[in-house]
Amino acid sequence: MRLGVSKHVVRCSIGTVSGESKTHFPAKSQPSSFSTVKFRPDNASSDLSVSRSSRRELICIATWPCLRPLIGCLPANALQPGAKEYLIIKEEVRKVLSKAKAAGVLRLVFHDAGTFDIDDNTGGMNGSIVYELERPENAGLKKSVKVLQKAKTRIDAIQPVSWADMIAVAGAEAVEICGGPTIQVSLGRLDSLVPDPEGRLPEESLNASALKKCFQSKGLSTQELVALSGAHTIGSKGFGSPNSFDNSYYKVLLEKPWTSSGGMSSMIGLPSDHALVEDDECLRWIKKYADSENLFFEDFKKAYLKLVNSGVRWTNL
């Protein structure tokens, strides 16, 4: 790949503060310290343009300690888990995250990354959710963003972190504190400066065929659809304990409690959850995950990493 480098230099200043500064949401303080860059989608051209217009404006607010100027995008292993930058994010997220808040934070991941479209390579895990909180499908997510903003403010005082990285790591931590698998997320995602197109998230009323088609448009298989749907095991959907990440979701799906007349059991799950168990291909994976929590954990981990890397533009670290 040939790189076109603009005359602008990406700058970064890192300092410490004695106390937390007041941060307005979405935080607007970072852009003044960095040059705005624009990328073409990978399938649009073999060249990467830093200075010319493209589908999406991105800002390098994920540049850890900025030893080199931003000249391009790195692959998904940009900055591996275990680095001190990752550990700082993890530590601060743990300070603000609880089991009661885990489901909302995990939902934030799905609604940010879920805008990805594989055909035109737009949307995805880019932090644009912070500009989309007024949309009906994102109702209730302001609270989760405010929770993470507290941690982000403290992290930014040490090292700038993008919203995309922040949300990806926080979602993984939400899964782990509820008893789910440990998921280590690479860092280096760039944030979008504009909201993603509307109408990209799967609707709750979709049947299995439409759900599979929707996920295919995001580069996700039927297996990954079923594995990621297991995230509904935590929260208020009615699948087992709301604070325990396990394979209860699949066991309950097989029981079909919503078919009972009246009572709370009829309120369990969404129509899209109910649809999965009526599809033969989905049912095959539902049975596997109901039988083996270890298999579910392993497949969820892989699908989660694929989800949070979808549509990502990576900074050069």
Residues annotated as catalytic are 111
Three-state secondary-structure class, residue 288: helix
What are the tokens at 136?
A: 């009906």
Q: How many helices (H) and strands (E) does the chain have?
A: 10, 5
CB 179 within 8 A of CB 245: yes
Supply the DSSP symbol for 277: T
Give φ, ψ of 288 to 5 degrees: -65, -45
Residue ranges in the chain assigned as alpha helix (H): 84-96, 99-113, 141-156, 163-177, 208-216, 222-229, 248-255, 271-276, 280-291, 293-308
Supply the DSSP symbol for 230: G
Distance CA 143, CA 89 (A): 19
Distance CA 144, CA 142 (A): 5
CA distances from 117 to 125, 206, 215, 259 (A): 11, 18, 9, 34
CA distances from 199 to 51, 56, 206, 208, 293 (A): 29, 18, 13, 18, 33
| 49 DSSP β-pair partners | 4
Rg (CA), the chain: 20
